Structure 1
Amino acid sequence: MGRHQLAKTRRKPPLLLAGVIASFAVLSAAAASPQPLVVKQEANQAANAPVVEAVSPCCLEVVPATEAGYSSRPAGAALFSSAGPAQAAAAVPAAASRWRVIDMHRVLPMSVAPERGLQVKTIFLARSIGVVFPEIRSIGGVRPDPLPWHPNGLALDIMIPNASSAEGIALGNRIVAYALENAARFGLQDAIWRNVYYTPNGPHSSGLGHFDHVHLTTHGGGYPRGGEIYYR
């Protein structure tokens, strides 16, 4: 074999090696591309993003997953339902996750009673009466009194329109009956209407008057801490 032919044969391996090196460089550049990292990062962000906007914010509340009961409230607040614990539990299921549904159609709105200084069961009673008896236009709450119930936020004065008329008397009677029928839920202590003193155990003659309004007293339940939700 001549000298020139040997030189040509010896040059081929470097050319092949250069092709291999070039291919490796292309693959390395593709592996170093930031695109796979961006996709992975976006995937992680999507997986970790909280699902908030998929549902209406009016009906959800974040609560600790370990909180028990049927309350849809911040810790330390109270929930009350004129439908009773069983119905309230059905409306607001026990905590199983960090999200809990609030049935806004069953939330009791504020009534005509000023709630400042009232305790939670008294507020619950006032709001319930405001919904069940919309003809009531005035409810008294906290006021100075030598007896402790009004000053301590435990009592309501349900003012009866045309209280001396047959319609007024019938309305007062219905309010007393409603409060007594739901005494356990409202924490009702007593009622006074047209010279009769009522307790959950029955009526008693009193001589205490109250011909123009129904007086209702609750056991209070403590003062609001903020964020209470009252269910009908």
Structure 2
Amino acid sequence: MGRHSQVRPRRSHARVLTALGLPVAALLIAGADVQRPVEQAAAPAVAGPEAAPLPGMELVAAAPVGVAPTSGPSGTRVQWVASRAAVRQPQILPAGLAPEQGLQVKTILVARAVSAIFPEIRSIGGVRQDPLPWHPNGLAIDVMIPNASSAEGIALGNQIVAFAMKNAERFSLQDCIWRGVYYTPGGGRAGGYGHYDHVHITTHGGGYPTGGEVYYR
């Protein structure tokens, strides 16, 4: 017999797995069940289909599941573990510093988020009389900055603007104004707008609350 006629045909991967007592489907499940990005797995920031969560949601490792022990060639136990992840339960945002009477839902969301994430803030203004429509219509808040002219105050205001801009889609953000600069989500900036002692944040509103809204961090 020739050398080639003595070569044994290779077993398919399916036959090897069957010999180990492990269905092929088990590995397919383990390979498909991978960690998803936080943006896709988190809960909505406001009750409703269009809203999204704030940063702070994260994936944490869960206990291994889908263990299928088999016996290996040397008698040792071989474990096939399907690695999974569990989403940490979202935290409900309580009422913040801003008076919420007359504010629209997206404005309430950003006000509560700023209150929760920036404990240095002690005062947030909401609805007030103004010749422009933003404050009277519940579309804007004023985040008052402690020691606004100090290096620490300026840095804090900058952080709040950056936070609002980063979450522009979630907050349905229209603009921020801080230290004479007008910021928009599209990157537009302009000078000469005042606001040196507070960060002005305007949203597109999202409608007035009906009483059943839940706001998530």
User: TM exceeds 0.5?
Assistant: yes
Q: Deviations over 1:13-49 (max 9, x none)?
A: xxxxxxxxxxxxxxxxxxxxxxxxxxxxxxxxxxxxx
Correspondent of 2:148 among 132, 150, 163: 163
- Tell me how far 1:118 sits from its aligned partner: 0.2
Asked if residue 82 in structure 1 is aligned to residue 54 in structure 2, the reply is yes
The unaligned stretches of length 5 or more in structure 1 are: 1-69, 89-102
**What CA distance in whole angstroms lies between the structure 2 residues aligned with 1:210 and 1:116?**
23
Which amino acid counterpart does residue 201 of structure 1 have in structure 2? G
Asked if residue 204 in structure 1 is aligned to residue 194 in structure 2, the reply is no
Asked if residue 116 in structure 1 is aligned to residue 101 in structure 2, the reply is yes
Conserved? CA contact 1:121–1:220, under 8 Å: yes
Which amino acid counterpart does residue 54 of structure 2 have in structure 1? S
Identity %: 66
Q: Deviations over 1:90-138 (max 9, x none)?
A: xxxxxxxxxxxxx5x6000111100000000000000010111011000
Q: Root-mean-square deviation (CA), in Å?
A: 2.7
CA pair 77-113 structure 1, distance change in 2 beyond 3 A: farther
Question: TM-score normalized by structure 1?
Answer: 0.58
**What CA distance in whole angstroms lies between the structure 2 residues aligned with 1:164 and 1:122?**
26
CA pair 176-109 structure 1, distance change in 2 beyond 3 A: same
- Residue 125 of structure 2 is matched in structure 1 by 140
- Residue 176 of structure 1 is matched in structure 2 by 161
The unaligned stretches of length 5 or more in structure 2 are: 1-42, 59-88
CA pair 77-137 structure 1, distance change in 2 beyond 3 A: farther
**What CA distance in whole angstroms lies between the structure 2 residues aligned with 1:154 and 1:113?**
12
- Tell me how far 1:211 sits from its aligned partner: 0.2
Which amino acid counterpart does residue 117 of structure 2 have in structure 1? V
CA pair 183-209 structure 1, distance change in 2 beyond 3 A: same
Q: Structure 1 segments of 4 or more deviating over 4 A?
A: 70-74, 76-80
**What CA distance in whole angstroms lies between the structure 2 residues aligned with 1:171 and 1:197?**
17
Which amino acid counterpart does residue 187 of structure 1 have in structure 2? S
Structure number with larger C-alpha Rg? 1
Structure with the higher helix share, 1 or 2: 1
Which amino acid counterpart does residue 148 of structure 2 have in structure 1? A
